[in-house]
Structure 1
Amino acid sequence: MAETSTRARELERAGEVMREFMARAVLFQDAVAKWGGVNGTDLQVASLLMGEGPATPGELAERTGLTAGGAITTAIDRLERAGFVSRDRDPGDRRRVIVTANAEAILDRFGEVYGRVGERWNAYLDTLTDDQLAFANDLFARAAEVNREEIERLRAR
């Protein structure tokens, strides 16, 4: 009986911890974006371009879900004015435009904050065993996958 109640408490706590983590992650990203002079959506667009590579505006709209009323074009315009992305003609098809992150400019502007957070995380991660690290990696990978699936489900409506 004690195991069940302990497990139930820990499952409830896990839900609370995940909600808190997700809320703080969104608020953190918004604070970083504002500090860096862009909005939260634009920062995520730049982040996706850095992580997943260059894309056409249409591909980027799919990645982000920014499809209504030229929202992706507006985001790209703002990021280009800030120097965080560039638009170039696709050498294989001159009709297509490819948007590429300017990683150096992005890191120059935001690296201070992400570097500081990275150092703090690395200091904590250094205290974990290999098994704990593997578990943490699996947990966050699964959380990201659940979020990705739910984003797709919401967009399909």
Structure 2
Amino acid sequence: MPRKSSRETAIERMAEVMREFMARAVLFQDAVARHGGINSTDMQAVSLLMSEGPATPGELAERTGLTAGGAITSVVDRLERAGYVTRERDAADRRKVIVTANVDAVLQKVGPIYGRVGQRWADYLATLTDEQIEFANELFTRAAEVNRLEIERLREADPGRS
């Protein structure tokens, strides 16, 4: 059996590292959500509202991949009860409901956790060169894009599943 090159070994190690990173990221987000009194799907929904702005329930369903019916309504109901979002009628079209993240509530409930993690990352990043940081930015950007494309592929393959 031929020996693996150092490149092949490093690529195999990268696959292991990415699996570990992704698993730990999911588990971390779940722990943060539970600490904040909600589940991880709800936390991701409020995170999307914070990063992409207010949305109708249908738009939020599309962002999260949940069905527009009962699933998204339940998410919005739970988030509103927990104080993470507000629902208001659209001023331009009273038939529409707009869901908006309550940023102050989110920061109060889970902000300190993200602050600690952010500081630990900042401390680590301070030890890297500009080139290393640029490489890391490119790596994580590409990883996020691969994940986004695969999410789309999975949703297209099974559109009825939420």
TM over 0.5: yes
In the alignment, which residue of structure 1 is the partner of 2:142?
142
Aligned partners of 1:147 and 1:70: how far apart in 2?
Answer: 26
1:69 is displaced (CA, Å) by 4.8
| RMSD between superposed Cα atoms in Å | 1.0
Structure 1 distance, partners of 2:130, 2:91, is 45
Q: Give the number of the structure whose residues are more often helix, by fraction.
A: 1
Aligned to 2:82: 82
Match of 2:100 in 1: 100
CA distance in 2, matches of 1:128, 1:58: 42
SS at match of 2:100: strand
1:17 aligns with 2:17: yes
Q: Any idea what the Cα deviations from partners look like across 1:131-157, whole Å, max 9, x if unmatched?
A: 111110111011001000000000001
Figure out how many residues of one structure are paired with residues of the other and give that number.
154
Residue 36 of structure 1 and its aligned partner are, at CA, apart by: 1.2
Deviation at 1:83, TM superposition (A): 0.7
Query: Shift of the alpha carbon at 1:18?
Result: 0.3
Partner of 1:43: 43
Aligned structure 1 segments of 4 or more residues deviating by more than 6 angstroms? none
TM-score norm. by structure 2 comes to 0.93
Letter in 1 for 2:34: K
Q: Deviations over 1:69-90 (max 9, x none)?
A: 5111100000001110001111
SS of equivalent to 2:38? coil
Q: Do structure 1's residue 31 and structure 2's residue 31 form an aligned pair? A: yes
SS of the counterpart of 1:93?
A: coil
**Whole-Å Cα distance in 2 between the matches of residues 37 and 95 of structure 1?**
31
1:19-50 per-position Cα deviation (integer Å, ceiling 9, x unaligned): 00000000011111111111010000010000
SS, match of residue 99 in structure 1: strand
Cα distance in 1 for residues equivalent to 2:127 and 2:80: 41
Partner of 1:154: 154
Q: Where in structure 1 are there 5+ consecutive unaligned residues?
A: none
Once the two structures are superposed, the pairs formed by residues 45-84 of structure 1 within 5 Å of their partners are 45-67=45-67, 69-84=69-84
Distance 1:61 1:48 in 2: 11
1:5: which partner in 2?
5
SS at match of 2:94: strand
